[in-house]
Amino acid sequence: MIKVLSGAWALLFGMMLLQVGNGMQGTLLGIRGEIEGFTTFEMSLVMSGYFVGFLFGSRMAPEMIRRVGHVRVFAALGSMISSVMLLYPTWTDPWAWGIARILIGFCFSGVYVTAESWLNNASSNENRGKALSLYMIVQMIGIVSAQALLIVADPGGFILFIIPSVLISISFAPILLSISPTPAFDTTKPMTLMQIYHTSPLGCVGMFLLGGVFSAQFGMGAVYGGKAGLSVGEISAFVSSFYIGALIVQYPLGWLSDKMDRRLLIMIASAGVAVGATIAMMFGTIFFVLLAAAFVVGGLSNPLYSLLIAYTNDFLGHDDMAAAAGGLIFINGLGAIAGPLITGWMMGVMGPSGFFLYIAVLGAAMAIYAAYRMTQRPTRIVDPTDTFTTVMPSSSPVAVTMAQEYAIDVAQEEAAEEAAEARAADA
């Protein structure tokens, strides 16, 4: 772990600052939109814009990198993010914010692709798993820290928009000054969405539904808090609970996924999301219950991203995993775009409770579909080559591929060790 930190501390530190900026702007816009009098539907359009940009960015960033290189793409997108942060408070119009969110989503997607390429290039087979774990941890720390910064100034002013702009500008300095050499960017064998669906219907349907759950948390959590009458400090704690839950529950759920039928675990976790959201909908006026429910929803829904990828990989060869991951991320992105729009419509019709009703319906739908799929395909015993590896829903295809490379390396090493032990026993 120390070796990984010494070799990649600048990249990890820079990415943590980036996530502070990203986490702040998402929550801050939800609070500021309420102050400016934006309707719930207008805010849903604004929040959906991030996922539109992120989806297109994940598809276009690799080509941009091939054309002009990692450094230029990274610096250009970083400058754009920092500039857009300052435009939010100067042009408080929902359509302007929507366009800005599309730009922000596009830029962050490209930044993630670039940074994760560097991280993958700087890692070896021996430390790739530790590097990926540290990367996910610092991202979570950044997002949670961002929520705490929301209470340092008035959200109706400029200061809270200046802070993430400055942090993002600072974050690029250690990365650009320390990263060397520039990694190569490889292409993967294409795989159509229909091929992926026939390989794993549950993986595809689950990813689409999960996109809606994640975008509701990330995009509409602060909007819910404002409509529910929470203070800025309470909104900060509420949004943080989603990510703290994800950070704590991710690894125990991953350990379980390698010990049992993944479909059963997907069904249980999805049902838990539905139950947690239902409790919040019924008893959300009690703040402690609201925080506990957010912890459960975030803790069980975020690991489903890695779990659905791992389940799909159970039916793929190693050469097809990267292409399938790209398709699953695209499907997840489509669900994420729809998430804020549907949530905003439901909150407009039902009030704040529509936020958790939407999450509950998606969680229940995923649990029911997982149960149905268990009747359509025999249970597949997870063998040592099917390792679960943690990836955040906000990660780019590069991080997912990196996680799969690590899982494959670990599986091959374990298989080689078992074969050696068997040969020794026979001798």
Q: Report residue 256's pLDDT band, with 50, 70 and 90 as the boundaries.
A: confident
**pLDDT recorded at residue 318:** 62
Residue-by-residue DSSP string for 110-134: HHHHHHHHHHHHH--TTTHHHHHHH
- The whole-number average pLDDT for the span 254-282 is 88
**pLDDT recorded at residue 332:** 85
Alpha carbon dihedral 82, 86, 91, 96, in 10-degree steps, equals 20
**pLDDT recorded at residue 56:** 85
**pLDDT recorded at residue 329:** 79
The most confident of the ranges 12-21, 104-113, 289-298 is 289-298
Element (H or E) spanning 401, and its range?
Answer: helix 397-426
Q: Per-residue pLDDT tens for 171-180? A: 888 777 766 5
> In this model, does residue 4 exceed pLDDT 60?
no
Task: Give the DSSP letter of residue 377.
Answer: S
Find out whether 35 and 88 touch, Cβ atoms under 8 Å. no
The most confident of the ranges 32-46, 130-144, 370-384 is 32-46
Percent of the chain with pLDDT over 90: 28
CA gap 43, 38 in Å, rounded = 7
Q: Report residue 384's pLDDT band, with 50, 70 and 90 as the boundaries.
A: very low
Find out whether 58 and 329 touch, Cβ atoms under 8 Å. yes
Q: Per-residue pLDDT tens for 395-417? A: 555 656 666 666 666 666 666 66
CA gap 48, 306 in Å, rounded = 23
Of 405 and 261, which is predicted with more confidence? 261
Task: Give the DSSP letter of residue 181.
Answer: S
The most confident of the ranges 15-24, 121-130, 177-186, 308-317 is 15-24
CB atoms under 10 Å from CB of 424, counted, come to 8
Question: Rounded to 5 degrees, what angle do the CA atoms 396, 401, 406 make?
Answer: 130
**pLDDT recorded at residue 57:** 83
Q: Report residue 387's pLDDT band, with 50, 70 and 90 as the boundaries.
A: low
Q: Supply φ then ψ for residue 27, to 5 degrees.
A: -70, -40
CB atoms under 10 Å from CB of 80, counted, come to 17
**pLDDT recorded at residue 370:** 93
CA gap 61, 109 in Å, rounded = 8
> In this model, does residue 208 exceed pLDDT 90?
yes
**pLDDT recorded at residue 96:** 92
Mean pLDDT of the chain: 81
Sequence-ordered list of residues with C-beta below 8 angstroms from that of 61, at least 6 positions apart, any chain: 73, 109, 110, 113, 114, 396
What count of Cα atoms within 13 Å lies in the side-chain half-sphere of residue 355?
A: 28
Sequence-ordered list of residues with C-beta below 8 angstroms from that of 324, at least 6 positions apart, any chain: 191, 196, 199, 312, 313, 316
* pTM attached to this predicted model: 0.83
Q: Report residue 240's pLDDT band, with 50, 70 and 90 as the boundaries.
A: very high
Q: Per-residue pLDDT tens for 280-336? A: 999 988 999 999 999 999 999 988 887 888 788 778 776 666 667 777 878 888 899
**pLDDT recorded at residue 306:** 78
Q: Per-residue pLDDT tens for 134-154? A: 777 888 888 888 888 888 888
> In this model, does residue 6 exceed pLDDT 70?
no
Residue 296, amino acid: V
Six token digits for residue 116: 């994760």
Q: At how many degrees (to 10) do helices 287-313 and 397-426 cross?
A: 60
